[in-house]
Structure 1
Protein backbone atom coordinates (compact mmCIF):
# COMPACT_ATOMS: atom_id res chain seq x y z
CA UNK A 1 0.00 0.00 0.00
CA UNK A 2 1.15 3.51 -0.78
CA UNK A 3 1.51 6.05 2.02
CA UNK A 4 -1.68 7.93 1.11
CA UNK A 5 -3.60 4.66 0.85
CA UNK A 6 -2.51 3.68 4.36
CA UNK A 7 -3.66 7.02 5.77
CA UNK A 8 -7.00 6.69 3.99
CA UNK A 9 -7.42 3.12 5.31
CA UNK A 10 -6.96 4.29 8.92
CA UNK A 11 -9.29 7.24 8.33
CA UNK A 12 -11.98 4.78 7.17
CA UNK A 13 -11.67 2.69 10.34
CA UNK A 14 -15.18 2.01 11.56
CA UNK A 15 -15.84 3.09 15.14
CA UNK A 16 -18.88 1.68 16.91
CA UNK A 17 -21.45 4.35 17.55
CA UNK A 18 -24.93 4.34 18.99
CA UNK A 19 -26.46 7.78 19.23
CA UNK A 20 -24.18 10.08 21.22
CA UNK A 21 -22.26 7.33 22.97
CA UNK A 22 -18.48 7.50 22.73
CA UNK A 23 -16.44 4.47 21.64
CA UNK A 24 -12.65 4.78 21.57
CA UNK A 25 -11.78 1.08 21.76
CA UNK A 26 -10.35 0.78 18.24
CA UNK A 27 -8.48 4.10 18.32
CA UNK A 28 -6.78 3.19 21.61
CA UNK A 29 -5.88 -0.30 20.36
CA UNK A 30 -4.33 1.21 17.22
CA UNK A 31 -2.31 3.72 19.28
CA UNK A 32 -1.02 0.89 21.46
CA UNK A 33 -0.10 -1.14 18.36
CA UNK A 34 1.67 1.87 16.82
CA UNK A 35 3.73 2.29 20.00
CA UNK A 36 4.88 -1.33 19.70
CA UNK A 37 6.03 -0.73 16.13
CA UNK A 38 7.84 2.44 17.21
CA UNK A 39 9.65 0.41 19.89
CA UNK A 40 10.76 -2.06 17.22
CA UNK A 41 8.40 -4.81 18.38
CA UNK A 42 6.61 -5.68 15.15
CA UNK A 43 5.57 -9.21 16.10
CA UNK A 44 1.92 -10.01 16.74
CA UNK A 45 0.95 -9.58 20.38
CA UNK A 46 -0.66 -12.21 22.57
CA UNK A 47 -3.99 -11.07 24.03
CA UNK A 48 -2.66 -11.90 27.49
CA UNK A 49 0.03 -9.24 26.96
CA UNK A 50 -2.22 -6.63 25.33
CA UNK A 51 -5.16 -6.97 27.72
CA UNK A 52 -3.69 -5.07 30.65
CA UNK A 53 -2.56 -2.15 28.49
CA UNK A 54 -5.94 -1.84 26.77
CA UNK A 55 -7.75 -1.96 30.10
CA UNK A 56 -5.50 0.81 31.42
CA UNK A 57 -6.12 2.99 28.35
CA UNK A 58 -9.88 2.50 28.45
CA UNK A 59 -10.07 3.10 32.20
CA UNK A 60 -8.15 6.36 31.74
CA UNK A 61 -9.64 7.71 28.52
CA UNK A 62 -12.78 5.75 27.68
CA UNK A 63 -16.35 6.19 28.91
CA UNK A 64 -17.13 4.80 32.33
CA UNK A 65 -17.14 0.99 32.25
CA UNK A 66 -15.82 0.71 28.69
CA UNK A 67 -12.91 -1.53 29.72
CA UNK A 68 -15.42 -4.35 30.26
CA UNK A 69 -15.49 -4.73 26.46
CA UNK A 70 -11.74 -4.22 26.00
CA UNK A 71 -11.48 -7.39 23.90
CA UNK A 72 -13.93 -6.23 21.21
CA UNK A 73 -11.48 -4.14 19.12
CA UNK A 74 -8.85 -6.89 19.28
CA UNK A 75 -11.34 -9.16 17.50
CA UNK A 76 -13.23 -6.67 15.29
CA UNK A 77 -10.41 -4.51 13.92
CA UNK A 78 -9.68 -7.22 11.36
CA UNK A 79 -12.90 -6.28 9.52
CA UNK A 80 -11.29 -2.90 8.70
CA UNK A 81 -8.40 -4.62 6.91
CA UNK A 82 -5.91 -3.20 9.41
CA UNK A 83 -5.48 -6.21 11.71
CA UNK A 84 -4.88 -9.91 11.53
CA UNK A 85 -5.38 -12.65 14.08
CA UNK A 86 -3.61 -15.89 14.81
CA UNK A 87 -5.18 -18.67 16.87
CA UNK A 88 -7.19 -21.88 16.68
CA UNK A 89 -8.81 -22.31 13.26
CA UNK A 90 -12.23 -23.03 14.79
CA UNK A 91 -12.16 -19.64 16.51
CA UNK A 92 -10.88 -17.65 13.55
CA UNK A 93 -13.53 -19.14 11.25
CA UNK A 94 -16.33 -17.64 13.31
CA UNK A 95 -18.48 -14.86 11.80
CA UNK A 96 -17.11 -11.39 12.52
CA UNK A 97 -19.97 -10.66 14.91
CA UNK A 98 -19.33 -13.75 17.06
CA UNK A 99 -17.00 -12.07 19.53
CA UNK A 100 -15.04 -14.51 21.73
CA UNK A 101 -15.13 -14.10 25.48
CA UNK A 102 -12.20 -12.79 27.47
CA UNK A 103 -11.57 -16.31 28.73
CA UNK A 104 -11.48 -17.77 25.20
CA UNK A 105 -8.94 -15.19 24.05
CA UNK A 106 -6.79 -15.79 27.11
CA UNK A 107 -6.86 -19.58 27.13
CA UNK A 108 -6.27 -19.87 23.38
CA UNK A 109 -3.49 -17.26 23.39
CA UNK A 110 -4.99 -15.50 20.39
CA UNK A 111 -2.51 -13.07 18.87
CA UNK A 112 -3.17 -9.93 16.87
CA UNK A 113 -1.27 -7.29 14.97
CA UNK A 114 -0.97 -5.24 11.82
CA UNK A 115 -0.63 -7.31 8.61
CA UNK A 116 3.04 -7.83 7.57
CA UNK A 117 3.03 -5.33 4.68
CA UNK A 118 1.54 -2.63 6.92
CA UNK A 119 3.95 -3.39 9.77
CA UNK A 120 6.88 -3.08 7.37
CA UNK A 121 5.60 0.22 5.95
CA UNK A 122 5.19 1.69 9.44
CA UNK A 123 8.61 0.41 10.58
CA UNK A 124 10.46 2.11 7.75
CA UNK A 125 8.47 5.36 7.83
CA UNK A 126 8.28 6.89 11.34
CA UNK A 127 6.75 10.08 9.89
CA UNK A 128 3.85 8.00 8.59
CA UNK A 129 3.46 6.40 12.03
CA UNK A 130 3.47 9.85 13.65
CA UNK A 131 0.91 11.08 11.13
CA UNK A 132 -1.47 8.23 11.94
CA UNK A 133 -1.09 8.66 15.70
CA UNK A 134 -1.70 12.40 15.50
CA UNK A 135 -4.75 12.01 13.27
CA UNK A 136 -6.26 9.46 15.64
CA UNK A 137 -5.89 11.58 18.79
CA UNK A 138 -7.08 14.69 16.94
CA UNK A 139 -10.19 12.87 15.71
CA UNK A 140 -11.21 11.33 19.04
CA UNK A 141 -9.93 13.45 21.94
CA UNK A 142 -9.99 17.15 22.89
CA UNK A 143 -6.76 19.10 22.70
CA UNK A 144 -6.45 19.37 26.49
CA UNK A 145 -5.73 15.65 26.95
CA UNK A 146 -4.19 14.54 23.63
CA UNK A 147 -0.63 14.47 24.96
CA UNK A 148 -1.82 12.43 27.95
CA UNK A 149 -3.41 9.85 25.63
CA UNK A 150 -0.22 9.58 23.57
CA UNK A 151 1.99 9.27 26.65
CA UNK A 152 -0.07 6.51 28.28
CA UNK A 153 -0.26 4.67 24.94
CA UNK A 154 3.54 4.71 24.85
CA UNK A 155 3.97 7.28 22.08
CA UNK A 156 6.04 10.49 22.25
CA UNK A 157 4.03 13.64 22.83
CA UNK A 158 6.09 15.72 20.39
CA UNK A 159 4.75 14.00 17.29
CA UNK A 160 5.10 16.45 14.42
CA UNK A 161 1.95 18.02 13.05
CA UNK A 162 1.74 16.53 9.59
CA UNK A 163 -1.36 16.11 7.47
CA UNK A 164 -4.74 17.64 8.32
CA UNK A 165 -6.69 15.56 10.82
CA UNK A 166 -10.17 14.18 10.30
CA UNK A 167 -11.41 16.74 12.81
CA UNK A 168 -10.47 19.55 10.44
CA UNK A 169 -13.03 18.42 7.88
CA UNK A 170 -15.52 20.07 10.25
CA UNK A 171 -14.82 23.74 10.62
CA UNK A 172 -14.60 25.20 14.09
CA UNK A 173 -16.21 28.52 14.88
CA UNK A 174 -13.21 30.81 15.59
CA UNK A 175 -15.41 33.05 17.75
CA UNK A 176 -16.48 30.23 20.11
CA UNK A 177 -13.82 30.98 22.74
CA UNK A 178 -14.50 34.70 22.92
CA UNK A 179 -18.27 34.17 23.08
CA UNK A 180 -17.94 31.69 25.96
CA UNK A 181 -15.49 33.84 27.91
CA UNK A 182 -17.74 36.88 27.47
CA UNK A 183 -20.78 34.91 28.68
CA UNK A 184 -18.86 33.89 31.83
CA UNK A 185 -17.46 37.41 32.29
CA UNK A 186 -13.91 36.15 31.71
CA UNK A 187 -13.71 34.00 34.82
CA UNK A 188 -13.52 30.26 35.50
CA UNK A 189 -16.92 28.74 36.15
CA UNK A 190 -15.46 26.61 38.97
CA UNK A 191 -12.87 28.67 40.85
CA UNK A 192 -13.46 32.18 39.52
CA UNK A 193 -9.91 32.50 38.09
CA UNK A 194 -9.83 35.77 36.10
CA UNK A 195 -6.14 36.66 35.74
CA UNK A 196 -5.26 39.21 33.07
CA UNK A 197 -2.00 40.66 31.79
CA UNK A 198 -2.88 44.01 30.33
CA UNK A 199 -5.83 43.25 28.10
CA UNK A 200 -4.95 39.56 27.68
CA UNK A 201 -6.77 36.83 29.58
CA UNK A 202 -4.24 34.38 31.05
CA UNK A 203 -4.92 30.68 31.62
CA UNK A 204 -8.65 30.83 30.82
CA UNK A 205 -10.15 28.58 28.15
CA UNK A 206 -13.48 27.72 26.58
CA UNK A 207 -14.23 24.07 27.32
CA UNK A 208 -16.67 22.08 25.23
CA UNK A 209 -19.13 20.16 27.42
CA UNK A 210 -19.96 17.72 24.64
CA UNK A 211 -16.65 17.30 22.84
CA UNK A 212 -16.20 18.74 19.36
CA UNK A 213 -14.88 15.28 18.38
CA UNK A 214 -18.29 13.85 19.42
CA UNK A 215 -20.05 16.39 17.18
CA UNK A 216 -20.64 18.84 19.98
CA UNK A 217 -21.54 22.23 18.49
CA UNK A 218 -19.61 25.48 18.87
CA UNK A 219 -22.43 27.22 20.73
CA UNK A 220 -22.23 28.99 24.08
CA UNK A 221 -24.65 26.57 25.89
CA UNK A 222 -22.14 23.82 25.01
CA UNK A 223 -19.28 25.73 26.59
CA UNK A 224 -17.97 26.58 30.04
CA UNK A 225 -15.21 29.07 30.76
CA UNK A 226 -12.60 27.16 32.77
CA UNK A 227 -9.06 27.83 33.90
CA UNK A 228 -6.57 25.57 32.15
CA UNK A 229 -6.34 23.20 35.15
CA UNK A 230 -10.08 22.76 35.60
CA UNK A 231 -10.48 22.41 31.82
CA UNK A 232 -8.05 19.52 31.74
CA UNK A 233 -9.55 17.62 34.67
CA UNK A 234 -13.07 18.26 33.28
CA UNK A 235 -12.02 16.60 30.00
CA UNK A 236 -10.45 13.74 31.94
CA UNK A 237 -13.72 13.15 33.81
CA UNK A 238 -12.57 14.24 37.27
CA UNK A 239 -15.72 16.29 37.77
CA UNK A 240 -19.02 16.99 36.09
CA UNK A 241 -21.89 19.45 36.44
CA UNK A 242 -25.36 18.22 37.33
CA UNK A 243 -27.93 19.28 34.71
CA UNK A 244 -30.73 19.88 37.21
CA UNK A 245 -28.92 22.08 39.74
CA UNK A 246 -25.62 23.06 38.03
CA UNK A 247 -23.81 21.67 41.06
CA UNK A 248 -20.19 20.56 40.67
CA UNK A 249 -19.57 16.90 41.56
CA UNK A 250 -16.14 15.26 41.73
CA UNK A 251 -15.21 11.65 41.02
CA UNK A 252 -14.11 9.30 43.80
CA UNK A 253 -11.15 8.39 41.55
CA UNK A 254 -9.61 11.84 42.04
CA UNK A 255 -6.82 11.59 44.60
CA UNK A 256 -3.63 13.27 45.76
CA UNK A 257 -2.12 14.65 48.94
CA UNK A 258 -4.40 16.39 51.43
CA UNK A 259 -3.49 19.89 50.33
CA UNK A 260 -4.12 19.16 46.67
CA UNK A 261 -7.38 17.26 47.09
CA UNK A 262 -8.67 19.78 49.64
CA UNK A 263 -8.09 22.54 47.11
CA UNK A 264 -10.12 20.69 44.47
CA UNK A 265 -12.80 19.36 46.77
CA UNK A 266 -13.51 22.80 48.16
CA UNK A 267 -15.82 23.10 45.15
CA UNK A 268 -17.59 19.75 45.69
CA UNK A 269 -21.33 20.43 45.72
CA UNK A 270 -20.85 24.11 44.94
CA UNK A 271 -22.79 25.71 42.15
CA UNK A 272 -21.17 26.46 38.82
CA UNK A 273 -20.55 30.19 38.38
CA UNK A 274 -23.21 30.66 35.73
CA UNK A 275 -23.14 32.90 32.66
CA UNK A 276 -24.56 36.38 32.85
CA UNK A 277 -27.65 35.53 30.73
CA UNK A 278 -29.93 32.50 31.03
CA UNK A 279 -29.76 31.86 27.28
CA UNK A 280 -26.08 30.96 27.77
CA UNK A 281 -26.64 28.47 30.63
CA UNK A 282 -25.20 25.00 29.93
CA UNK A 283 -27.78 22.93 28.10
CA UNK A 284 -28.88 19.88 30.16
CA UNK A 285 -28.50 17.52 27.18
CA UNK A 286 -24.81 18.43 26.86
CA UNK A 287 -24.21 18.07 30.61
CA UNK A 288 -25.96 14.70 30.54
CA UNK A 289 -23.65 13.56 27.71
CA UNK A 290 -20.59 14.58 29.70
CA UNK A 291 -21.83 12.74 32.80
CA UNK A 292 -22.43 9.54 30.82
CA UNK A 293 -19.50 9.60 28.39
CA UNK A 294 -16.63 11.36 30.19
CA UNK A 295 -17.18 11.50 33.98
CA UNK A 296 -15.47 8.77 35.99
CA UNK A 297 -18.10 7.22 38.26
CA UNK A 298 -18.75 6.87 41.14
CA UNK A 299 -19.35 10.42 42.26
CA UNK A 300 -18.46 11.76 45.69
CA UNK A 301 -21.43 12.47 47.92
Structure 2
Protein backbone atom coordinates (compact mmCIF):
# COMPACT_ATOMS: atom_id res chain seq x y z
CA UNK A 1 0.00 0.00 0.00
CA UNK A 2 1.03 3.60 -0.47
CA UNK A 3 -0.28 6.99 0.56
CA UNK A 4 -1.08 9.57 -2.10
CA UNK A 5 -1.85 13.21 -2.71
CA UNK A 6 -4.87 13.58 -5.01
CA UNK A 7 -5.39 16.84 -6.84
CA UNK A 8 -9.01 18.03 -6.84
CA UNK A 9 -10.53 21.02 -8.64
CA UNK A 10 -14.21 21.85 -8.28
CA UNK A 11 -14.54 22.88 -11.94
CA UNK A 12 -12.63 19.91 -13.35
CA UNK A 13 -13.92 17.66 -16.15
CA UNK A 14 -13.44 14.79 -13.69
CA UNK A 15 -16.53 14.00 -11.64
CA UNK A 16 -15.10 13.85 -8.15
CA UNK A 17 -17.10 13.71 -4.94
CA UNK A 18 -14.21 13.78 -2.46
CA UNK A 19 -16.07 11.93 0.30
CA UNK A 20 -17.44 9.31 -2.11
CA UNK A 21 -15.39 8.86 -5.29
CA UNK A 22 -12.31 10.12 -7.15
CA UNK A 23 -12.40 10.12 -10.97
CA UNK A 24 -9.05 9.68 -12.76
CA UNK A 25 -7.49 8.65 -16.12
CA UNK A 26 -5.66 5.41 -16.90
CA UNK A 27 -2.15 6.81 -16.48
CA UNK A 28 -2.68 6.95 -12.71
CA UNK A 29 -4.20 3.47 -12.41
CA UNK A 30 -1.14 1.69 -11.03
CA UNK A 31 -0.56 4.23 -8.26
CA UNK A 32 -4.25 4.21 -7.31
CA UNK A 33 -4.34 0.42 -7.17
CA UNK A 34 -1.29 0.45 -4.88
CA UNK A 35 -3.13 2.85 -2.58
CA UNK A 36 -6.21 0.65 -2.07
CA UNK A 37 -6.70 0.23 1.67
CA UNK A 38 -4.50 3.20 2.51
CA UNK A 39 -5.01 6.92 3.16
CA UNK A 40 -4.82 9.86 0.77
CA UNK A 41 -4.66 13.63 1.16
CA UNK A 42 -6.70 15.91 -1.10
CA UNK A 43 -5.02 18.98 -2.55
CA UNK A 44 -6.50 21.96 -4.34
CA UNK A 45 -3.89 23.76 -6.50
CA UNK A 46 -3.29 27.45 -5.95
CA UNK A 47 -4.70 28.43 -9.34
CA UNK A 48 -7.99 26.62 -8.57
CA UNK A 49 -8.57 28.08 -5.12
CA UNK A 50 -6.97 28.95 -1.80
CA UNK A 51 -7.34 25.67 0.05
CA UNK A 52 -4.10 23.74 -0.50
CA UNK A 53 -4.29 20.40 1.36
CA UNK A 54 -7.83 20.22 2.65
CA UNK A 55 -8.96 16.70 3.64
CA UNK A 56 -8.01 13.07 4.16
CA UNK A 57 -9.80 9.87 3.17
CA UNK A 58 -9.13 6.16 2.65
CA UNK A 59 -9.43 4.34 -0.68
CA UNK A 60 -11.66 1.29 -0.56
CA UNK A 61 -11.41 0.00 -4.14
CA UNK A 62 -10.76 0.99 -7.75
CA UNK A 63 -13.15 0.21 -10.61
CA UNK A 64 -13.49 1.17 -14.30
CA UNK A 65 -15.76 4.16 -14.78
CA UNK A 66 -18.99 2.86 -16.33
CA UNK A 67 -19.45 3.98 -19.93
CA UNK A 68 -16.20 5.97 -20.14
CA UNK A 69 -13.19 4.37 -21.82
CA UNK A 70 -9.87 5.02 -20.13
CA UNK A 71 -11.32 6.45 -16.91
CA UNK A 72 -11.47 4.86 -13.48
CA UNK A 73 -13.07 5.53 -10.11
CA UNK A 74 -11.44 5.24 -6.71
CA UNK A 75 -14.22 4.53 -4.22
CA UNK A 76 -13.72 6.15 -0.82
CA UNK A 77 -14.22 3.95 2.24
CA UNK A 78 -17.42 5.06 3.99
CA UNK A 79 -16.80 7.05 7.14
CA UNK A 80 -13.14 7.85 6.41
CA UNK A 81 -13.34 11.27 4.70
CA UNK A 82 -12.48 14.09 7.09
CA UNK A 83 -11.92 17.75 6.16
CA UNK A 84 -8.99 19.52 7.79
CA UNK A 85 -9.80 21.90 10.61
CA UNK A 86 -7.50 24.38 8.86
CA UNK A 87 -6.47 24.08 5.23
CA UNK A 88 -2.73 23.53 4.84
CA UNK A 89 -0.68 25.56 2.33
CA UNK A 90 1.86 23.62 0.29
CA UNK A 91 4.72 25.38 2.10
CA UNK A 92 5.44 25.19 5.82
CA UNK A 93 8.41 26.63 7.66
CA UNK A 94 9.75 28.06 4.43
CA UNK A 95 9.83 24.73 2.59
CA UNK A 96 7.50 22.63 0.50
CA UNK A 97 5.71 19.93 2.50
CA UNK A 98 6.25 17.47 -0.36
CA UNK A 99 9.96 16.96 -0.91
CA UNK A 100 9.33 15.55 -4.38
CA UNK A 101 8.21 19.03 -5.48
CA UNK A 102 11.47 20.69 -4.40
CA UNK A 103 14.70 21.25 -6.27
CA UNK A 104 17.96 20.40 -4.51
CA UNK A 105 18.28 24.04 -3.38
CA UNK A 106 14.82 23.97 -1.81
CA UNK A 107 13.10 26.00 -4.50
CA UNK A 108 9.87 24.76 -6.07
CA UNK A 109 10.14 22.64 -9.19
CA UNK A 110 8.42 23.71 -12.37
CA UNK A 111 6.55 21.07 -14.34
CA UNK A 112 7.18 17.37 -13.83
CA UNK A 113 5.88 16.06 -10.50
CA UNK A 114 4.23 19.41 -9.75
CA UNK A 115 1.72 18.83 -12.54
CA UNK A 116 0.78 15.29 -11.52
CA UNK A 117 -2.78 14.86 -10.27
CA UNK A 118 -1.76 11.76 -8.29
CA UNK A 119 1.47 11.84 -6.29
CA UNK A 120 2.99 9.30 -3.92
CA UNK A 121 3.39 10.65 -0.38
CA UNK A 122 5.97 9.35 2.13
CA UNK A 123 4.66 8.43 5.58
CA UNK A 124 6.45 11.25 7.38
CA UNK A 125 5.08 13.86 4.97
CA UNK A 126 1.58 12.45 5.33
CA UNK A 127 1.87 12.70 9.12
CA UNK A 128 3.22 16.24 8.91
CA UNK A 129 0.36 17.45 6.68
CA UNK A 130 -2.29 15.78 8.84
CA UNK A 131 -0.79 17.24 12.02
CA UNK A 132 -1.01 20.71 10.49
CA UNK A 133 -4.57 20.23 9.27
CA UNK A 134 -5.93 18.22 12.20
CA UNK A 135 -3.98 19.11 15.36
CA UNK A 136 -3.30 16.52 18.03
CA UNK A 137 -5.02 18.72 20.63
CA UNK A 138 -8.12 19.60 18.60
CA UNK A 139 -10.44 18.21 21.29
CA UNK A 140 -8.72 20.31 23.95
CA UNK A 141 -8.84 23.42 21.76
CA UNK A 142 -12.57 22.99 21.30
CA UNK A 143 -13.17 22.33 25.01
CA UNK A 144 -11.25 25.48 25.99
CA UNK A 145 -12.49 27.68 23.16
CA UNK A 146 -15.16 29.59 25.05
CA UNK A 147 -13.71 29.56 28.56
CA UNK A 148 -13.88 33.06 30.05
CA UNK A 149 -12.46 32.38 33.51
CA UNK A 150 -8.96 33.36 34.54
CA UNK A 151 -6.69 31.16 32.42
CA UNK A 152 -4.48 30.57 35.44
CA UNK A 153 -7.37 28.93 37.27
CA UNK A 154 -8.40 26.60 34.47
CA UNK A 155 -7.20 23.04 34.72
CA UNK A 156 -6.52 22.02 31.13
CA UNK A 157 -7.54 18.48 30.14
CA UNK A 158 -4.62 16.20 29.43
CA UNK A 159 -3.77 15.74 25.75
CA UNK A 160 -2.56 12.27 24.79
CA UNK A 161 -0.12 11.91 21.92
CA UNK A 162 -1.91 9.59 19.52
CA UNK A 163 -0.58 8.14 16.25
CA UNK A 164 -2.07 9.85 13.20
CA UNK A 165 -4.12 6.87 12.04
CA UNK A 166 -5.56 6.26 15.51
CA UNK A 167 -6.66 9.88 15.61
CA UNK A 168 -8.28 9.67 12.16
CA UNK A 169 -10.38 6.67 13.20
CA UNK A 170 -11.42 7.79 16.69
CA UNK A 171 -15.10 8.73 16.66
CA UNK A 172 -14.84 11.36 19.45
CA UNK A 173 -12.05 13.17 17.60
CA UNK A 174 -13.91 13.01 14.28
CA UNK A 175 -17.08 14.31 15.93
CA UNK A 176 -15.23 17.38 17.21
CA UNK A 177 -13.64 18.01 13.80
CA UNK A 178 -17.02 17.62 12.05
CA UNK A 179 -18.81 19.88 14.53
CA UNK A 180 -16.24 22.65 14.18
CA UNK A 181 -16.37 22.67 10.38
CA UNK A 182 -20.17 22.49 10.08
CA UNK A 183 -20.88 25.21 12.64
CA UNK A 184 -18.26 27.46 11.08
CA UNK A 185 -19.70 26.89 7.58
CA UNK A 186 -23.11 28.14 8.75
CA UNK A 187 -21.62 31.03 10.74
CA UNK A 188 -23.03 29.40 13.89
CA UNK A 189 -26.64 29.90 12.72
CA UNK A 190 -29.30 27.23 12.70
CA UNK A 191 -30.00 26.37 9.05
CA UNK A 192 -33.73 25.90 9.69
CA UNK A 193 -34.61 28.58 12.27
CA UNK A 194 -31.99 31.08 11.11
CA UNK A 195 -31.14 31.91 14.74
CA UNK A 196 -27.63 32.36 16.11
CA UNK A 197 -27.92 31.57 19.81
CA UNK A 198 -25.11 31.68 22.37
CA UNK A 199 -25.15 30.87 26.06
CA UNK A 200 -23.97 33.21 28.79
CA UNK A 201 -20.33 32.31 28.20
CA UNK A 202 -20.55 32.96 24.48
CA UNK A 203 -20.61 29.26 23.53
CA UNK A 204 -22.74 28.63 20.40
CA UNK A 205 -25.85 26.58 21.09
CA UNK A 206 -26.11 25.34 17.49
CA UNK A 207 -25.20 21.69 16.91
CA UNK A 208 -23.83 19.78 13.89
CA UNK A 209 -26.23 17.19 12.49
CA UNK A 210 -25.28 14.47 10.03
CA UNK A 211 -27.81 14.36 7.20
CA UNK A 212 -27.00 10.73 6.46
CA UNK A 213 -25.78 9.06 9.67
CA UNK A 214 -22.26 7.68 9.75
CA UNK A 215 -23.60 4.23 10.62
CA UNK A 216 -25.64 4.39 7.40
CA UNK A 217 -22.54 5.09 5.26
CA UNK A 218 -22.74 8.84 5.74
CA UNK A 219 -19.54 10.87 5.76
CA UNK A 220 -18.04 13.61 7.89
CA UNK A 221 -18.04 16.01 4.96
CA UNK A 222 -19.56 19.43 5.61
CA UNK A 223 -21.86 18.60 2.67
CA UNK A 224 -23.34 15.86 4.83
CA UNK A 225 -24.01 18.25 7.68
CA UNK A 226 -26.47 20.88 8.85
CA UNK A 227 -26.04 23.35 11.69
CA UNK A 228 -29.21 22.97 13.79
CA UNK A 229 -30.51 23.98 17.19
CA UNK A 230 -30.93 21.15 19.68
CA UNK A 231 -34.69 20.78 19.17
CA UNK A 232 -34.48 20.94 15.38
CA UNK A 233 -31.60 18.45 15.41
CA UNK A 234 -33.84 16.08 17.37
CA UNK A 235 -36.70 16.62 14.91
CA UNK A 236 -34.44 16.15 11.87
CA UNK A 237 -32.95 12.89 13.16
CA UNK A 238 -36.46 11.53 13.77
CA UNK A 239 -37.79 12.45 10.34
CA UNK A 240 -40.20 15.13 11.51
CA UNK A 241 -38.55 17.62 9.18
CA UNK A 242 -36.51 17.28 6.00
CA UNK A 243 -35.50 19.21 2.88
CA UNK A 244 -37.27 19.01 -0.51
CA UNK A 245 -35.73 18.14 -3.88
CA UNK A 246 -34.96 21.80 -4.58
CA UNK A 247 -32.49 21.59 -1.63
CA UNK A 248 -34.14 24.67 -0.11
CA UNK A 249 -37.74 24.08 0.93
CA UNK A 250 -38.17 22.80 4.48
CA UNK A 251 -40.54 19.85 4.69
CA UNK A 252 -42.58 19.26 7.86
CA UNK A 253 -44.47 16.14 8.86
CA UNK A 254 -47.54 18.18 9.78
CA UNK A 255 -49.57 15.29 11.11
CA UNK A 256 -46.90 14.87 13.81
CA UNK A 257 -45.72 18.46 14.40
CA UNK A 258 -48.15 21.05 15.86
CA UNK A 259 -48.64 24.19 13.75
CA UNK A 260 -47.56 26.49 16.56
CA UNK A 261 -44.27 24.59 16.85
CA UNK A 262 -43.68 25.11 13.12
CA UNK A 263 -44.37 28.83 13.48
CA UNK A 264 -41.91 29.19 16.33
CA UNK A 265 -39.04 27.05 15.03
CA UNK A 266 -38.88 27.42 11.25
CA UNK A 267 -37.79 30.45 9.23
CA UNK A 268 -40.83 32.45 8.00
CA UNK A 269 -39.99 31.85 4.32
CA UNK A 270 -39.73 28.10 4.91
CA UNK A 271 -36.35 27.96 3.17
CA UNK A 272 -33.08 26.42 4.31
CA UNK A 273 -30.29 28.80 5.24
CA UNK A 274 -27.21 27.90 3.17
CA UNK A 275 -23.50 28.38 3.90
CA UNK A 276 -21.86 31.32 2.16
CA UNK A 277 -19.36 29.03 0.43
CA UNK A 278 -21.33 27.02 -2.17
CA UNK A 279 -18.86 24.14 -1.82
CA UNK A 280 -20.28 23.52 1.66
CA UNK A 281 -23.94 23.33 0.67
CA UNK A 282 -25.73 20.06 1.49
CA UNK A 283 -25.25 17.49 -1.23
CA UNK A 284 -28.54 16.65 -3.03
CA UNK A 285 -27.87 12.92 -2.65
CA UNK A 286 -27.54 13.22 1.12
CA UNK A 287 -30.81 15.17 1.31
CA UNK A 288 -32.50 12.60 -0.93
CA UNK A 289 -31.35 9.82 1.39
CA UNK A 290 -32.84 11.64 4.37
CA UNK A 291 -36.19 12.20 2.62
CA UNK A 292 -36.44 8.57 1.57
CA UNK A 293 -35.16 6.95 4.76
CA UNK A 294 -36.04 9.31 7.61
CA UNK A 295 -38.77 11.78 6.71
CA UNK A 296 -42.21 10.75 7.96
CA UNK A 297 -40.99 7.66 9.79
CA UNK A 298 -42.99 6.41 12.77
CA UNK A 299 -41.77 7.85 16.06
CA UNK A 300 -42.93 4.95 18.19
CA UNK A 301 -43.45 5.56 21.91
CA UNK A 302 -40.70 8.15 22.29
CA UNK A 303 -41.99 11.28 24.08
CA UNK A 304 -42.03 14.55 22.13
CA UNK A 305 -40.37 17.82 23.05
CA UNK A 306 -43.43 19.97 22.40
CA UNK A 307 -44.22 20.41 26.10
CA UNK A 308 -40.79 22.01 26.56
CA UNK A 309 -41.24 24.66 23.87
Task: Determine if the TM-score, normalized by the shorter chain, exceeds 0.5.
Answer: no
Instruction: Return the structure number with greater relative CO, CA threshold 8 A, min gap 6.
Output: 1
Specify which structure has the higher proportion of helix. 1
Shorter chain as denominator, the TM-score bin is 0.3 to 0.5
TM-score between both structures, scaled by the size of structure 1: 0.39
Specify which structure has the higher proportion of strand. 2
TM-score between both structures, scaled by the size of structure 2: 0.38
